[in-house]
Structure 1
Amino acid sequence: MIKNDLYLKALRGETVERPPVWMMRQAGRFLPEFRELRDKYDFFTRCRTPELASEITMMPIRRYPLDAAILFSDILVVPQAMGMDFQMVEGTGPWLETPIRTPEQVKNIIVPDVDDTLGYVFDAIELTLQKLDNDIPLIGFAGSPWTILCYCIEGGGSKTFDIAKAFCFQHPEAAHELLQKITDTTIAYLKRKVEKGVSAVQVFDSWGGMLSPEDYQVYSWRYINQIVEALSPLTHVIAFGKGCWFALEEMTLSKVSALGLDWTIRPEYARSLTNHTMTLQGNFDPARLHSSPETIRKMVHEMISRFGKDRYIVNLGHGILPNIPLENAEAFIRAVVDWKPN
């Protein structure tokens, strides 16, 4: 039995005394203890070493009164397991030396045995659960198939992902074949995470907003929904689509437990689009954590007031930025923990 189950209550739509709080990328570069490890080990060594991944997961939990932990990893471990040699290049970000540019390359992409290729993630879950000692839930995650495809075809980050989109529109059959392979791998990966003990899984569709509403249904949501259909009988599934407010009505009809929001939509409009029935998560602008602690507290309380305390999980609208002062992150979290209804 998890002692602090606020997060799970919110996912179940139950009445809570206050909304739960956690932050995307909370085990990240803004923490000095994280930067110490970063200086000793490269990025994917940290991901692939269960002891390091577990330790990084716990760093923000030891520092702040958060209501959930999220396992330290990366969305690109999935395409790595499928045979794509992604690197993390300092100052550049994700990098794939030989990106997918032809349908023939798609044929060679494998759907791996996740136990063989991603066992280190599952080992990290076991270590982390021991350290958490049932205090708070642990969240597992994966990237959406569309977001993974973007990196696989583009070969790295992009402001527009034009190369990835062009591939899909020029070679739709190959694009769907690749998306399905990513989907099948992701479902197996997340199912194993649930078997290992995570309490919920989140699907990050970081680049869904690059697509038109029509293309989003074709190239992104249909594959996310396959993941939701496969995982929802086993655990809570949260779908977070950055820039995807246009799809909220469609998403609400699915079996997701919650929908994540970025900072570009008003709480009232998000509630309206989701028929006032969905647990929502977000949507504080990460850059707003550069405001004073007093301003942050005021804005968080206003955000809770606008969303309502029930069916709501306080979070950022995307990952926390690396240059956020520790006291500002704490102000964000404590504003929720100390919140009282008027």
Structure 2
Amino acid sequence: MNKPFNDVFLKACRKERTPYIPVWYMRQAGRYQPEYREMRKKYSFFEMSEIPEVCAEVTRLPVKQLGVDAAILFADIMTPLKHIGVQLEIKPGIGPVIENPIHTEQDVSRLGELDPQTHLPTILEAIKILNQQLSVPLIGFAGAPFTLASYIVEGQPSKNYHKTKGLMYSAPDVWNALMKKLGDLTVTYLKGQIAAGAHAVQVFDSWIGALNEQDYKIYVAPVMRHIFTELKTTGVPVIYFGIGAGHLLEEWNRLPVDVIGIDWRTSIRSARGRGIDKVLQGNLDPSLLLAPWELIKQRTREILDQGMEEPGYIFNLGHGIFPSVKVETLQKLTSFIHEYTKR
């Protein structure tokens, strides 16, 4: 018999009253789990996300193991790019490496259109399987256009994004064409996930903090407004997250998103003090997960106290879990958050 559906996360996304503060963790399925590491011996990273039963199992494991209030689909932000003509490989120790970087108008015009039913049926099937198995909401996700561009223009991960920003400044027509292409891909991919049964979606703009506010307004805000306006029609909550992007929060607050994820550099209280009235998600520094338990507890309590000052708060990390974190730490943390915030 299925457990009752836990909708506390969805209620928080809508600023409704919740019995406690919900929690989930970015990268909650991953290399810190012994079970995940065992599975990686059998399958490549992409194989894990492209075999529906394996994808579902990896997505479900942290919910069962940690007691979190939401699952996030196990996939990679680069997954849809392979199906529109981007030749990429995940190289150990480097990350995504692109064989055919995008630099010209011709390069952009060669990119195809995404059809989730044709190109990503296994992802959609995994979502359908999870809907039968989970008793918490499933979060779908995609990479945002700037963050995807930062890989496909640079050709691999970058620390400074000089080529990406150089294209943006020197060839705005090419840039705008690329943003439109990636914006349409993001909408199509997420609408496909929602149609398959995702209860909420998160757009990861991981590297958007590399832009200043002026450049964000000119070169990125229009495509993000388009994406979020389109997603608004689905009725599911939409989360927008980036790293080192505290200076962009006022711009984000103007977008039609439901939840803004913030990293550890900006406190919940200071974000609200700046007039950010969206639901907030965050924002424990993941490095603190290696600290003594008493310090983890103290810092978590401080964040929760700020989060509970106003309606609309979801606990998360300020970035993803990394491999050396212990499962037991996350179990204790989840239990503490639930117990401490019970109304």
TM-score normalised over the length of structure 2: 0.95
Q: Is the 8 A contact 1:106 1:177 kept in 2?
A: yes
**Which secondary structure does the structure 2 equivalent of 1:55 belong to?**
helix
Q: Residues 240-289 of structure 1: CA distance to partner in whole angstroms, max 9, x if unpaired?
A: 121221221222222211100011012211112244x3210001101110
Give the Cα separation in 1 of the matches to 2:170 and 2:4.
Answer: 49
Q: Distance in 2 between matches of 1:331 and 1:298?
A: 13
2:327 pairs with 1:326:
yes
Partners of 1:114 and 1:185 within 8 A in 2: no
Equivalent residue letter for 1:74: D
What residue is the counterpart of 2:5 in the other structure?
3
State the 1:2 CA deviation: 6.3
Question: What pairs up with 1:96-107 in 2 under 5 angstroms?
Answer: 96-107=98-109
> Partner of 2:139 in structure 1?
139
Tell me what 1:196 maps to.
196
Confirm or deny that 1:289 pairs with 2:289: yes
Q: Structure 1 stretches of 5 or more lacking a match?
A: none
Find the residue that maps to 2:241 and give its secondary structure.
Answer: strand
Residue matched to 2:158: 158
Code of the aligned partner of 2:45:
F
- Structure-2 change in CA distance of 1:230 and 1:323 (3 Å): same
Q: Residue 239 in 1 paired to residue 247 in 2?
A: no
Question: 1:70: how far off?
Answer: 0.4
Do the aligned partners of 1:79 and 1:182 also contact (CA within 8 Å) in 2? no
CA contact (8 A) 2:191 2:231 kept: yes
CA contact (8 A) 1:18 1:337 kept: yes
What residue identity is the alignment partner of 1:264?
A: R
Partner in structure 2 of residue 254 of structure 1: 255
Match of 1:17 among 11, 16, 19: 19
Any conservation in 1 of the 2:268–2:280 contact (CA below 8 Å)? no
Aligned counterpart, 2:110? 108
The answer to whether the Cα contact below 8 Å between 1:81 and 1:114 also exists between their aligned partners in 2 is no
Corresponding residue number in structure 2 for 1:58: 60
1:94 paired residue among 86, 89, 96: 96
Structure 2 residues without counterparts, runs of 5 or longer: none
Partner residue, 1:178: 178
1:107 counterpart SS class: helix
Displacement of 1:321 after TM fit?
Answer: 1.1
What is residue 38 of structure 2 aligned with on the other side? 36
Q: How many residues align?
A: 339
Alignment equivalent of 1:126, drawn from 110, 125, 128: 128
Aligned equivalents of 1:261 and 1:3: distance in 2? 27
d(CA) in 2 for partners of 1:315, 1:288:
13
CA contact (8 A) 1:2 1:137 kept: no
State the SS of the aligned residue for 2:340.
Answer: coil
Q: Match of 1:40, SS?
A: coil
CA contact (8 A) 1:141 1:190 kept: yes
Q: Secondary structure at the match of 2:22?
A: coil
Contact map agreement 2:124 2:193 (CA 8 A) in 1: yes
Report the alpha carbon displacement of residue 10 of structure 1 after superposing the two structures with TM: 0.5
Structure 1 pair 141–340 and aligned structure 2 pair: CA distance change class (3 A):
closer
SS in 1 for 2:322: coil
- Contact 2:114/2:188, CA 8 A, preserved across alignment: no
What is the distance in 1 between the residues matched to 2:30 and 2:293? 20
CA contact (8 A) 1:99 1:152 kept: yes
Q: Is the 8 A contact 1:27 1:72 kept in 2?
A: yes
CA–CA separation in structure 2 for the residues paired with 1:325 and 1:144? 30
4+ residue runs over 3 A deviation: none
Cα distance between partner residues in 2 of 1:333 and 1:266: 20
Deviation of 1:177 after TM superposition, in Å, equals 0.4
Within 1, Cα distance between the matches of 2:258 and 2:57?
28
> SS of the residue aligned with 2:41?
helix
What SS is found at the alignment partner of 1:281? strand
Deviation at 1:222, TM superposition (A): 2.1
Q: 1:26 is paired with a residue of what secondary structure?
A: coil
